[in-house]
């Protein structure tokens, strides 16, 4: 079974803090993704990576950065957390032409 | 711009009935379309993929249709059960490259006893 894990299920941070969210997949997938999900807005793509050290901006990259130093690991960084970044963050991975995505359990981040 | 539309209103049906969810898209002819299930507080889980040259796809109690002329996919759950209650998302690759999916906002299904 494909397994995508995320470092935390729940996280509480203060405004201005630097926040690291980590994602690890065990299926040797080339592609990895970070989304945020908010009520009524659905899944919105923040960044994705199609290879080690490669990254592309998604639809809402502002305020975020990413790192992919190893194939299995994709990190999302909030340089200076703000209250409007309170959300559910979901990581996913995929491979192949059809792009079926496998999601982690999500991290619910609260920024106070 | 490309857009996916799913009914934002929850669908309530009685156990044993067939649930039908709709996914409409604009301005693009995708090579395939995917459906995912999401339970509260969890990540989406892939259910089915249907290609443009397939009119219908089945998996156990699930059936998906894909009408590229209408730009619409229908997702059916037959003999629905309370355990089918969840949010169902459709997803398309508008880039054509197989790497990036755009997800609809999903439709919440509630199956009542």
User: pLDDT by residue (tens digit) across A14-65?
Assistant: 999 999 999 999 999 999 999 999 988 889 999 999 999 999 999 999 999 9
pLDDT of residue B1: 67
Q: C-alpha distances in angstroms, B89 versus A24, A71, B5, B30?
A: 24, 27, 10, 16
Per the CB < 8 A criterion, the answer to whether A31 and A95 are in contact is yes
pLDDT of residue B97: 67
Distance separating alpha carbons of residues B60 and B32, to the nearest angstrom = 20
Distance separating alpha carbons of residues B106 and B113, to the nearest angstrom = 23
Average pLDDT across each block of 10 residues of chain B; the chain has 113 residues. List them in order.
Answer: 85 97 88 93 95 92 94 96 97 77 94 95
Nearest to A104 among B8, B43, B102 (CB): B43
Q: Which residue of A has its CA nearest to B7?
A: A40
pLDDT of residue B27: 75
Is the minimum CB–CB distance between B94 and chain A shorter than 8 Å?
Answer: no
Is the minimum CB–CB distance between B2 and chain A shorter than 8 Å?
Answer: no
pLDDT of residue B52: 86
- Percent share of chain A, pLDDT over 90: 88
Nearest to A42 among B34, B41, B103 (CB): B103
Residue A91 has pLDDT above 90, yes or no: yes
Chain B environment of A31 (Cβ under 8 Å): 99
pLDDT of residue B95: 74
- Reference B107, options B85, B95, B89, B81; nearest CA is B89
Q: C-alpha distances in angstroms, B62 versus A42, B22, B31, B35?
A: 23, 14, 21, 10
Q: What are phi and psi of A50, to 5 degrees?
A: -110, 5
Query: How far is B16 from chain A, CA to nearest CA, in Å?
Result: 29
């Amino acid at each position: 079974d494909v397994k995508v894990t995320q470092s935390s299920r729940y996280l509480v941070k203060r405004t201005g803090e630097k926040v690291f969210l980590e994602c690890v997949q065990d299926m040797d997938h080339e592609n990895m993704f970070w989304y945020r999900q908010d009520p009524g807005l659905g899944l919105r793509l923040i960044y994705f990576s199609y290879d080690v050290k490669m990254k592309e901006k998604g639809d809402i990259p502002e305020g975020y950065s990413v790192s992919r130093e190893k194939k299995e690991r994709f990190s999302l960084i909030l340089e200076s957390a703000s209250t409007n970044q309170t959300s559910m963050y979901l990581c996913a991975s995929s491979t192949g032409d059809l792009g079926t995505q496998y999601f982690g359990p999500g991290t619910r981040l609260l920024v106070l | 711009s490309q857009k996916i539309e799913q009914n934002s209103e929850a669908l309530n049906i009685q156990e044993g009935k067939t649930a039908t969810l709709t996914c409409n898209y604009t301005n693009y002819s995708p090579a395939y379309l995917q459906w995912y299930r999401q339970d509260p507080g969890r990540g989406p889980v892939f259910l089915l993929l249907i290609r443009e040259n397939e009119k219908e796809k089945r998996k156990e109690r699930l059936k998906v249709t894909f009408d590229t002329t209408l730009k619409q996919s229908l997702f059916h759950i037959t003999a629905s059960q309370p355990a089918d209650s969840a949010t169902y998302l459709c997803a398309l690759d508008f880039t054509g490259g197989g790497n990036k999916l755009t997800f609809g906002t999903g439709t919440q299904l509630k199956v009542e006893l």
